[in-house]
A and B are shown apart, each in its own frame.
Chain A
């Protein structure tokens, strides 16, 4: 009897060790990737790197200013579209649960969340690029559509958690509906909505596939949003697969910058959610 208990206990302990081993071993690839990117990338980054466009093929030097400016512009424009639409749609979903529109809209948010980014790229190609040509705007539209589900869901979840008494208090003071929402409900859920927005930006800033056939890429520093534009992930893709070592170096530097953006955005989200104790 004692022996059997002993065996069972040993089994239990072995299993636990095995689980712990597997769980922590997963962090290894991430750590290896991060360290490698940092090691390869940090040497590339200097003022020159940030302020110059890539040198012609086969030449040393140059930088990623075009991709940096492009990424910021493209992501900025995406946010301009996706944040208001996402917040308002999220408000609708939290305010009108049970309506037909809310049902279909919620379903479509779930669908959008699952659409592969490459598919979004080809669809926006037909919507905007085919009639108007390659442009930063078309890339922004594709990315904005990818942001929407995250902004909508985080807004909806945040607002659903607010006590209904808050809305009643404002309504009982004769405050009209739109002011109740915009001046009471949204400010009270501000932290949750904000962290959703930051998370969605972190998610799209590294997206490459939707930009392949939309913003395309360009070797020049451009702020013309109706023309083709370079972006960090797209630059990494083109230079990673090129045969020139100098271009690989640019890609490592760009990867480092992109990684830093993503890390910082994620940490900011974590800090916000921790400070205001939000569950996303």
Chain B
């Protein structure tokens, strides 16, 4: 198990009295692309937000159980440090409207007040934008505001912003649900390249997307992790009847 990056053991999360993640145990291995799917309200997004401790920022939200990054217990670590190590990309592209494209990429450094030499920053910006397949499109307009880009470009900018912090893991919360089909495919393309360097955890309600991009798939249903297996296995021969019902479209 030395390949495990993120591991949850008997992990639970609540919104007030509402038990939304129930006793989840899962091990996610390095350089894999894991899709988390399930009907809406199944706790998949909450689980994702527990991994980088974004869940606890909502008033009344609590979590209990073990969640580890390598061998370190995430919930005893400094949350700010956790978020350095575990990046996140959201449902809707959310570049900072007050910052240029350049500054958006290094926002993690800039906003944290981390002092980095200009040459290094230039380097980080180019590398991150290249990894996010955006460099060629924006290299001549780095100092324009990020909000001038198209939706798909904005989302890739947000990915570049996460990459720039050199995280171990990147969390994606339905990253393409607000994008058009062409932008969606360009982002999906990226996943294949990104997983060579990072571990990706992608929440999606789109089964085809899960099938296309992931190595392993976790299926959540009313707060429980029903099944976690190789994506191929899961989509061809699911072991649980609930998974089967979901995949065959009995409920959504």
Contact = CB atoms under 8 A, between A and B. Distances in A.
Direct A–B contact present (CB less than 8 angstroms): yes
Interface of A: 98, 163, 165-166, 168-176, 179-180, 183-184, 187-188, 190
Contact of A171 (B54, B97, B161): B54
B34 interface: no
A172 B111 contact: no
B129 to A, nearest CB: 16
A179 B113 contact: yes
A122 B64 CA distance: 56
A173 B165 contact: yes
A179 B161 CA distance: 17
Contact of B81 (A166, A170, A174, A183): A174
Interface in B63-88: 80-84, 87-88
25 contacts: A165-B94, A166-B94, A166-B97, A168-B88, A168-B90, A169-B94, A169-B96, A169-B107, A170-B107, A171-B54, A171-B83, A172-B83, A172-B88, A173-B108, A173-B112, A174-B82, A174-B83, A174-B84, A174-B108, A174-B112, A175-B111, A176-B112, A179-B111, A188-B98, A190-B98
Given A168-B90, A172-B88, A173-B162, 13 more contacts: A165-B94, A168-B54, A172-B52, A172-B54, A173-B83, A173-B107, A174-B81, A175-B107, A175-B108, A179-B111, A184-B96, A188-B97, A190-B98
Contacts of A173: 83-84, 87, 107-108, 111-112, 161-162, 165
Contacts of B98: 184, 187-188, 190
A188 B96 contact: yes
**Ordered nearest first, which 6 A-B pairs have the shortest CB separation?**
A174-B83, A172-B88, A173-B108, A165-B94, A174-B84, A175-B111
B158 interface: yes
B19 interface: no
A176 B84 CA distance: 11
Nearest to A183: B111
A83 B172 CA distance: 39
A166 B52 contact: no
A192 to B, nearest CB: 13
A175 B112 contact: yes
Interface string B99-143: 000000001101111000000000000000000000000000000
Interface of B: 52, 54, 57, 59, 80-84, 87-88, 90, 92, 94-98, 107-108, 110-113, 158, 161-162, 165
A212 B33 CA distance: 72
Nearest to A169: B94
Contacts of B111: 170, 173, 175, 179-180, 183-184
B108 A163 contact: no
A interface, over-half SS: helix
A57 B98 CA distance: 56
A169 B52 CA distance: 12
A190 B97 CA distance: 12
B96 A172 contact: no
A163 B87 CA distance: 20
A163 B94 contact: yes
B100 to A, nearest CB: 13
Contacts of B165: 173-174
A37 B132 CA distance: 63
Contacts of B107: 169-170, 173, 175
Nearest to B111: A175
A73 B57 CA distance: 43
Nearest to A186: B98
A179 B80 CA distance: 12
A170 B96 contact: yes
Contacts of A183: 110-111
B108 A169 contact: no
A31 to B, nearest CB: 41
Contacts of A176: 80, 112
B79 to A, nearest CB: 8
B83 A168 contact: no
